[in-house]
Amino acid sequence: MRNSARAGLFLLAWVFAVGAQNPYQVALPGYRYEFPRDYFNHPEYQTEWWYYTGNVTAEDGHRFGFELTFFRQGVNRDAEKRGTWDVRDVYVAHLALSDLDGQAFYHAERTNRAGPGIAGVDEAQQRIWNGNWSVRWQGDEQELQAVDSRFSFSLALHPEKPPVIHGENGVSQKAEGAGRASHYISLTRLATRGELQVGGKRYAVKGLAWMDHEFFTHQLEKGQVGWDWVSLQLEDQTELMLYRIRRADGTEDPHSSGTYVDAKGQATHLKKEEFSLVPEGEMWKSASTGARYPMRWKIAVPKLGLDLEATTRLKSQEMAGSSKVMPNYWEGAIELTGNRGKNAVAGVGYLEMTGYDRAVRLGE
Protein backbone atom coordinates (compact mmCIF):
# COMPACT_ATOMS: atom_id res chain seq x y z
CA MET A 1 0.00 0.00 0.00
CA ARG A 2 1.83 2.38 -0.93
CA ASN A 3 1.72 -0.58 -1.76
CA SER A 4 -0.54 1.83 -0.06
CA ALA A 5 -2.37 1.56 -3.17
CA ARG A 6 -2.73 5.23 -3.24
CA ALA A 7 -6.33 6.35 -3.15
CA GLY A 8 -6.34 9.02 -5.83
CA LEU A 9 -4.61 6.91 -8.41
CA PHE A 10 -6.96 4.02 -7.87
CA LEU A 11 -9.94 6.22 -8.63
CA LEU A 12 -8.26 7.85 -11.60
CA ALA A 13 -7.58 4.38 -12.96
CA TRP A 14 -11.24 3.57 -12.65
CA VAL A 15 -12.43 6.85 -14.20
CA PHE A 16 -10.22 6.53 -17.27
CA ALA A 17 -9.86 2.79 -17.75
CA VAL A 18 -13.02 0.91 -16.75
CA GLY A 19 -14.34 -1.02 -19.73
CA ALA A 20 -11.24 -0.43 -21.82
CA GLN A 21 -8.82 -3.08 -22.96
CA ASN A 22 -5.83 -3.05 -20.63
CA PRO A 23 -2.54 -2.61 -22.55
CA TYR A 24 -0.39 -2.61 -19.40
CA GLN A 25 1.85 -5.17 -17.75
CA VAL A 26 1.11 -6.58 -14.30
CA ALA A 27 3.58 -7.09 -11.47
CA LEU A 28 4.81 -10.69 -11.50
CA PRO A 29 7.35 -12.59 -9.38
CA GLY A 30 10.96 -12.64 -10.52
CA TYR A 31 11.26 -8.99 -11.52
CA ARG A 32 14.93 -7.98 -11.66
CA TYR A 33 15.46 -4.62 -9.98
CA GLU A 34 18.17 -2.29 -11.23
CA PHE A 35 19.20 1.04 -9.75
CA PRO A 36 19.11 3.87 -10.59
CA ARG A 37 16.75 2.75 -13.39
CA ASP A 38 14.00 1.63 -11.02
CA TYR A 39 13.91 4.96 -9.23
CA PHE A 40 12.29 6.43 -12.36
CA ASN A 41 9.48 5.86 -14.86
CA HIS A 42 7.82 2.53 -15.75
CA PRO A 43 5.20 3.48 -18.38
CA GLU A 44 4.46 -0.17 -19.14
CA TYR A 45 2.60 -0.28 -15.79
CA GLN A 46 -0.58 1.74 -15.36
CA THR A 47 -0.05 3.23 -11.91
CA GLU A 48 3.12 4.58 -10.34
CA TRP A 49 4.03 6.88 -7.46
CA TRP A 50 6.96 8.43 -5.66
CA TYR A 51 6.14 9.20 -2.04
CA TYR A 52 8.24 11.35 0.30
CA THR A 53 7.40 11.93 3.96
CA GLY A 54 9.57 13.13 6.81
CA ASN A 55 10.00 14.59 10.28
CA VAL A 56 12.35 17.57 10.66
CA THR A 57 13.30 19.93 13.48
CA ALA A 58 14.46 23.55 13.31
CA GLU A 59 17.48 24.88 15.17
CA ASP A 60 15.15 26.38 17.80
CA GLY A 61 13.47 23.00 18.36
CA HIS A 62 10.35 23.69 16.28
CA ARG A 63 9.01 20.42 14.79
CA PHE A 64 7.51 19.84 11.36
CA GLY A 65 6.30 16.98 9.20
CA PHE A 66 6.21 17.12 5.40
CA GLU A 67 4.80 15.18 2.45
CA LEU A 68 5.56 15.49 -1.26
CA THR A 69 4.04 12.89 -3.55
CA PHE A 70 4.07 12.40 -7.31
CA PHE A 71 1.62 10.09 -9.10
CA ARG A 72 1.59 8.93 -12.71
CA GLN A 73 -1.57 7.27 -14.04
CA GLY A 74 -1.58 5.74 -17.53
CA VAL A 75 -4.77 6.57 -19.43
CA ASN A 76 -4.01 5.92 -23.12
CA ARG A 77 -1.43 3.81 -24.94
CA ASP A 78 -2.69 4.39 -28.50
CA ALA A 79 0.52 4.47 -30.58
CA GLU A 80 -0.96 7.15 -32.84
CA LYS A 81 -1.61 9.57 -29.98
CA ARG A 82 1.85 11.01 -29.37
CA GLY A 83 1.25 14.74 -29.85
CA THR A 84 2.45 17.22 -27.25
CA TRP A 85 -1.04 17.69 -25.83
CA ASP A 86 -2.29 14.11 -26.18
CA VAL A 87 -3.00 12.66 -22.75
CA ARG A 88 -1.10 9.41 -22.37
CA ASP A 89 -0.65 9.84 -18.62
CA VAL A 90 -2.18 12.01 -15.92
CA TYR A 91 0.24 13.42 -13.35
CA VAL A 92 -1.10 14.18 -9.87
CA ALA A 93 0.87 15.61 -6.95
CA HIS A 94 0.13 16.14 -3.26
CA LEU A 95 2.00 18.54 -0.98
CA ALA A 96 1.60 19.00 2.78
CA LEU A 97 3.32 20.65 5.71
CA SER A 98 2.48 19.77 9.32
CA ASP A 99 3.49 22.53 11.74
CA LEU A 100 3.46 20.23 14.76
CA ASP A 101 4.28 22.86 17.37
CA GLY A 102 2.27 25.62 15.71
CA GLN A 103 -0.74 23.25 15.41
CA ALA A 104 -1.37 24.04 11.74
CA PHE A 105 -1.72 21.80 8.70
CA TYR A 106 -1.32 23.00 5.11
CA HIS A 107 -1.94 20.91 2.02
CA ALA A 108 -2.36 21.31 -1.73
CA GLU A 109 -2.87 19.12 -4.78
CA ARG A 110 -2.48 19.54 -8.52
CA THR A 111 -3.26 17.55 -11.66
CA ASN A 112 -1.50 18.01 -15.01
CA ARG A 113 -0.81 16.35 -18.32
CA ALA A 114 2.79 16.14 -19.51
CA GLY A 115 2.27 18.73 -22.26
CA PRO A 116 5.40 20.69 -23.16
CA GLY A 117 7.24 19.81 -19.97
CA ILE A 118 4.53 20.69 -17.43
CA ALA A 119 4.93 17.42 -15.54
CA GLY A 120 6.81 14.19 -15.97
CA VAL A 121 9.51 11.72 -15.01
CA ASP A 122 12.81 11.67 -16.88
CA GLU A 123 15.66 9.29 -16.04
CA ALA A 124 18.06 11.11 -18.37
CA GLN A 125 17.42 14.37 -16.50
CA GLN A 126 17.35 12.55 -13.15
CA ARG A 127 14.14 14.42 -12.41
CA ILE A 128 10.52 13.97 -11.28
CA TRP A 129 8.29 17.06 -11.37
CA ASN A 130 4.82 18.57 -11.47
CA GLY A 131 5.05 22.30 -12.09
CA ASN A 132 7.38 23.85 -9.51
CA TRP A 133 7.28 20.79 -7.23
CA SER A 134 10.18 18.51 -8.02
CA VAL A 135 12.74 15.88 -7.06
CA ARG A 136 16.22 16.05 -8.62
CA TRP A 137 18.79 13.28 -8.29
CA GLN A 138 22.57 13.60 -8.35
CA GLY A 139 23.89 10.09 -7.94
CA ASP A 140 22.28 8.83 -4.74
CA GLU A 141 21.57 12.33 -3.43
CA GLN A 142 18.14 13.91 -3.88
CA GLU A 143 16.78 17.43 -3.62
CA LEU A 144 13.11 18.15 -2.94
CA GLN A 145 11.70 21.55 -3.91
CA ALA A 146 8.13 22.68 -3.43
CA VAL A 147 6.51 26.13 -3.45
CA ASP A 148 3.00 27.00 -2.31
CA SER A 149 1.49 30.42 -1.58
CA ARG A 150 1.49 29.62 2.17
CA PHE A 151 4.75 27.69 2.58
CA SER A 152 7.75 26.27 0.75
CA PHE A 153 10.70 23.98 1.35
CA SER A 154 14.00 22.97 -0.19
CA LEU A 155 15.47 19.78 1.30
CA ALA A 156 18.56 17.70 0.55
CA LEU A 157 18.23 13.94 1.17
CA HIS A 158 21.11 11.52 1.69
CA PRO A 159 20.44 7.74 1.88
CA GLU A 160 21.97 6.06 4.92
CA LYS A 161 20.90 2.59 3.72
CA PRO A 162 20.47 0.84 0.35
CA PRO A 163 17.00 0.51 -1.25
CA VAL A 164 14.64 -2.03 0.29
CA ILE A 165 12.54 -4.34 -1.90
CA HIS A 166 9.26 -5.19 -0.19
CA GLY A 167 7.33 -8.43 -0.39
CA GLU A 168 8.61 -11.76 -1.64
CA ASN A 169 10.28 -12.73 -4.93
CA GLY A 170 10.12 -9.16 -6.20
CA VAL A 171 6.42 -8.48 -5.62
CA SER A 172 4.26 -7.08 -2.85
CA GLN A 173 1.13 -9.23 -3.10
CA LYS A 174 -2.19 -7.43 -2.50
CA ALA A 175 -4.70 -10.20 -3.26
CA GLU A 176 -4.82 -13.82 -4.34
CA GLY A 177 -3.70 -14.53 -7.90
CA ALA A 178 -0.91 -13.73 -10.34
CA GLY A 179 -0.51 -10.02 -11.10
CA ARG A 180 -2.59 -8.85 -8.13
CA ALA A 181 0.54 -7.23 -6.77
CA SER A 182 2.99 -4.36 -7.11
CA HIS A 183 6.72 -3.80 -7.39
CA TYR A 184 7.53 -1.78 -4.29
CA ILE A 185 10.80 -0.25 -3.09
CA SER A 186 11.73 2.19 -0.32
CA LEU A 187 14.60 4.27 0.92
CA THR A 188 13.85 3.94 4.61
CA ARG A 189 16.40 6.30 6.21
CA LEU A 190 17.16 9.51 4.37
CA ALA A 191 19.20 12.04 6.35
CA THR A 192 17.49 15.35 5.60
CA ARG A 193 18.72 18.95 5.77
CA GLY A 194 17.43 22.16 4.29
CA GLU A 195 15.15 25.11 4.69
CA LEU A 196 11.42 25.69 4.95
CA GLN A 197 9.33 28.83 5.11
CA VAL A 198 5.91 29.19 6.70
CA GLY A 199 4.02 31.98 8.47
CA GLY A 200 6.52 34.56 7.28
CA LYS A 201 9.39 32.74 9.01
CA ARG A 202 12.36 30.88 7.60
CA TYR A 203 13.66 27.75 9.36
CA ALA A 204 16.85 25.75 8.88
CA VAL A 205 15.82 22.14 9.55
CA LYS A 206 17.22 18.64 9.74
CA GLY A 207 15.79 15.20 10.41
CA LEU A 208 14.76 12.01 8.62
CA ALA A 209 12.72 11.28 5.48
CA TRP A 210 11.32 8.11 3.89
CA MET A 211 10.76 7.47 0.17
CA ASP A 212 8.37 4.91 -1.33
CA HIS A 213 8.26 4.07 -5.03
CA GLU A 214 5.68 1.66 -6.34
CA PHE A 215 4.51 0.60 -9.80
CA PHE A 216 1.74 -1.81 -10.77
CA THR A 217 -1.45 -2.27 -12.78
CA HIS A 218 -3.75 -4.26 -10.45
CA GLN A 219 -6.28 -2.21 -8.49
CA LEU A 220 -8.23 -2.85 -5.28
CA GLU A 221 -10.29 -6.03 -5.06
CA LYS A 222 -13.99 -5.93 -4.29
CA GLY A 223 -14.33 -6.19 -0.54
CA GLN A 224 -11.07 -4.36 0.21
CA VAL A 225 -12.44 -1.04 1.48
CA GLY A 226 -9.46 0.77 3.00
CA TRP A 227 -6.07 0.41 4.65
CA ASP A 228 -3.80 1.66 7.42
CA TRP A 229 -0.07 2.07 6.74
CA VAL A 230 2.88 3.14 8.87
CA SER A 231 6.54 3.91 8.22
CA LEU A 232 8.58 3.88 11.43
CA GLN A 233 12.15 5.11 11.97
CA LEU A 234 13.51 4.10 15.38
CA GLU A 235 16.39 5.66 17.26
CA ASP A 236 18.24 2.32 17.29
CA GLN A 237 18.76 2.76 13.51
CA THR A 238 16.08 0.25 12.47
CA GLU A 239 12.92 0.82 10.42
CA LEU A 240 9.54 -0.81 10.04
CA MET A 241 6.86 -0.60 7.35
CA LEU A 242 3.49 -2.20 8.09
CA TYR A 243 0.10 -2.08 6.44
CA ARG A 244 -3.23 -3.72 7.09
CA ILE A 245 -5.89 -3.86 4.38
CA ARG A 246 -9.38 -3.57 5.85
CA ARG A 247 -12.25 -5.58 4.41
CA ALA A 248 -15.96 -4.73 4.25
CA ASP A 249 -16.79 -7.35 6.90
CA GLY A 250 -14.46 -5.64 9.39
CA THR A 251 -11.66 -8.20 9.18
CA GLU A 252 -8.05 -7.68 8.10
CA ASP A 253 -7.16 -8.96 4.65
CA PRO A 254 -4.71 -11.91 4.72
CA HIS A 255 -2.47 -10.03 2.27
CA SER A 256 -1.63 -7.37 4.85
CA SER A 257 2.13 -7.43 5.42
CA GLY A 258 5.25 -5.47 6.30
CA THR A 259 9.03 -5.19 6.24
CA TYR A 260 11.60 -4.85 9.01
CA VAL A 261 14.97 -3.25 8.21
CA ASP A 262 17.82 -3.86 10.66
CA ALA A 263 20.60 -1.41 11.52
CA LYS A 264 22.79 -2.73 8.69
CA GLY A 265 20.04 -2.36 6.08
CA GLN A 266 19.03 -6.03 5.85
CA ALA A 267 15.29 -6.38 5.11
CA THR A 268 12.97 -9.09 6.49
CA HIS A 269 9.47 -9.69 5.13
CA LEU A 270 6.69 -9.83 7.74
CA LYS A 271 3.47 -11.75 7.13
CA LYS A 272 0.13 -10.67 8.57
CA GLU A 273 0.31 -13.10 11.48
CA GLU A 274 3.77 -11.85 12.50
CA PHE A 275 2.68 -8.35 13.60
CA SER A 276 -0.25 -6.37 14.93
CA LEU A 277 -1.29 -2.82 14.07
CA VAL A 278 -4.27 -1.96 16.27
CA PRO A 279 -6.07 1.36 16.92
CA GLU A 280 -6.75 2.17 20.58
CA GLY A 281 -8.81 4.79 22.34
CA GLU A 282 -8.75 8.38 21.20
CA MET A 283 -10.58 9.36 18.00
CA TRP A 284 -10.52 12.61 16.03
CA LYS A 285 -13.52 13.69 13.94
CA SER A 286 -12.92 15.70 10.78
CA ALA A 287 -15.09 18.78 10.39
CA SER A 288 -14.59 18.55 6.61
CA THR A 289 -15.59 14.95 5.94
CA GLY A 290 -17.16 13.68 9.16
CA ALA A 291 -14.66 10.80 9.21
CA ARG A 292 -13.46 9.57 12.60
CA TYR A 293 -9.80 8.59 12.69
CA PRO A 294 -7.98 6.75 15.50
CA MET A 295 -5.19 8.89 16.96
CA ARG A 296 -3.39 6.21 19.00
CA TRP A 297 -2.06 2.89 17.73
CA LYS A 298 -0.48 -0.16 19.35
CA ILE A 299 2.16 -1.87 17.23
CA ALA A 300 3.78 -5.20 18.07
CA VAL A 301 6.20 -7.54 16.31
CA PRO A 302 6.65 -10.40 18.80
CA LYS A 303 9.56 -12.14 17.08
CA LEU A 304 11.53 -8.85 17.22
CA GLY A 305 10.50 -8.12 20.80
CA LEU A 306 8.95 -4.83 19.66
CA ASP A 307 6.03 -3.24 21.49
CA LEU A 308 5.33 0.34 20.39
CA GLU A 309 2.74 3.05 20.74
CA ALA A 310 2.20 5.63 18.00
CA THR A 311 0.66 9.04 18.74
CA THR A 312 0.56 12.41 17.00
CA ARG A 313 1.03 16.01 18.14
CA LEU A 314 -1.37 17.27 15.45
CA LYS A 315 -4.73 15.60 14.94
CA SER A 316 -5.86 17.59 11.90
CA GLN A 317 -3.62 16.08 9.21
CA GLU A 318 -6.41 14.99 6.84
CA MET A 319 -5.91 15.45 3.09
CA ALA A 320 -9.45 16.56 2.27
CA GLY A 321 -9.97 18.26 -1.07
CA SER A 322 -12.76 19.56 -3.26
CA SER A 323 -11.99 17.11 -6.06
CA LYS A 324 -14.66 14.48 -6.63
CA VAL A 325 -12.09 12.17 -8.18
CA MET A 326 -9.56 12.13 -5.34
CA PRO A 327 -10.82 10.55 -2.11
CA ASN A 328 -9.97 11.91 1.32
CA TYR A 329 -7.39 10.34 3.62
CA TRP A 330 -5.44 11.11 6.79
CA GLU A 331 -1.66 11.19 6.49
CA GLY A 332 0.55 12.70 9.13
CA ALA A 333 3.61 12.76 11.33
CA ILE A 334 3.66 10.45 14.37
CA GLU A 335 5.90 9.80 17.37
CA LEU A 336 6.82 6.39 18.77
CA THR A 337 7.57 5.16 22.26
CA GLY A 338 7.90 1.63 23.59
CA ASN A 339 10.27 -1.24 24.14
CA ARG A 340 12.44 -3.73 22.32
CA GLY A 341 12.60 -6.49 24.90
CA LYS A 342 13.76 -4.84 28.13
CA ASN A 343 15.17 -1.75 26.43
CA ALA A 344 13.25 1.47 25.83
CA VAL A 345 13.03 2.61 22.23
CA ALA A 346 11.61 5.73 20.57
CA GLY A 347 11.31 7.16 17.08
CA VAL A 348 9.28 9.02 14.49
CA GLY A 349 7.24 8.05 11.47
CA TYR A 350 4.23 8.62 9.26
CA LEU A 351 0.73 7.15 9.42
CA GLU A 352 -1.77 6.85 6.57
CA MET A 353 -5.47 5.95 6.99
CA THR A 354 -7.91 5.62 4.09
CA GLY A 355 -11.56 4.65 3.71
CA TYR A 356 -12.77 6.21 6.95
CA ASP A 357 -15.32 8.61 5.46
CA ARG A 358 -16.45 6.10 2.82
CA ALA A 359 -15.20 2.83 1.46
CA VAL A 360 -12.67 2.98 -1.35
CA ARG A 361 -14.52 1.02 -4.02
CA LEU A 362 -13.57 0.65 -7.67
CA GLY A 363 -15.26 -0.55 -10.79
CA GLU A 364 -18.69 -1.14 -9.25
Residue 20 has pLDDT above 90, yes or no: no
Residue 361 lies in a domain: no
Q: What is the DSSP letter of 326?
A: S
Cα 237 to Cα 268: distance, rounded to the nearest angstrom: 15
Residue 2 lies in a domain: no
Average pLDDT score over residue span 209-213: 98
Judging by DSSP bridges, how do beta strands 133-138 and 141-147 pair with one another?
antiparallel
Say which CATH number the domain at 126 has. Answer: 2.40.370.10
Determine what percent of the chain is predicted with pLDDT higher than 70: 91
User: Worst-scoring range by mean pLDDT, 52-61, 163-172, 184-193, 322-331?
Assistant: 322-331
Cα 173 to Cα 102: distance, rounded to the nearest angstrom: 40
Residue 222 lies in a domain: yes
Encode pLDDT of 47-94 as tens digits. 999 999 999 999 999 999 999 999 999 988 877 777 778 888 999 999
Average pLDDT score over residue span 130-148: 97
pLDDT of residue 21: 54
User: How many independent structural domains does the chain possess?
Assistant: 1
Range of the domain at 59: 7-354
Encode pLDDT of 29-45 as tens digits. 999 999 999 999 999 99
Backbone CA torsion sign across 319, 320, 326, 330: positive
Backbone CA torsion sign across 277, 244, 173, 46: negative
Please say whether the beta carbons of 114 and 102 come within 8 A: no
Name the 3-class secondary structure at 165: strand
Residue 363 lies in a domain: no
Residue 360 lies in a domain: no
Residue 1 lies in a domain: no
360 band by pLDDT with thresholds 50, 70 and 90 = low
Among 15-19, 85-89, 129-133, 319-323, the range of highest mean pLDDT: 129-133
Q: Which of 143, 139, 138 is nearest to 155 (CA)?
A: 143
Residue 16 lies in a domain: yes
Q: Report residue 21: phi and psi, to 5°.
A: -65, 135
Cα 364 to Cα 354: distance, rounded to the nearest angstrom: 18
338 band by pLDDT with thresholds 50, 70 and 90 = very high
Residue 143 lies in a domain: yes
Looking at per-residue pLDDT, the higher value among 286 and 11 belongs to 286
pTM: 0.92
User: Worst-scoring range by mean pLDDT, 209-223, 233-247, 311-325?
Assistant: 311-325
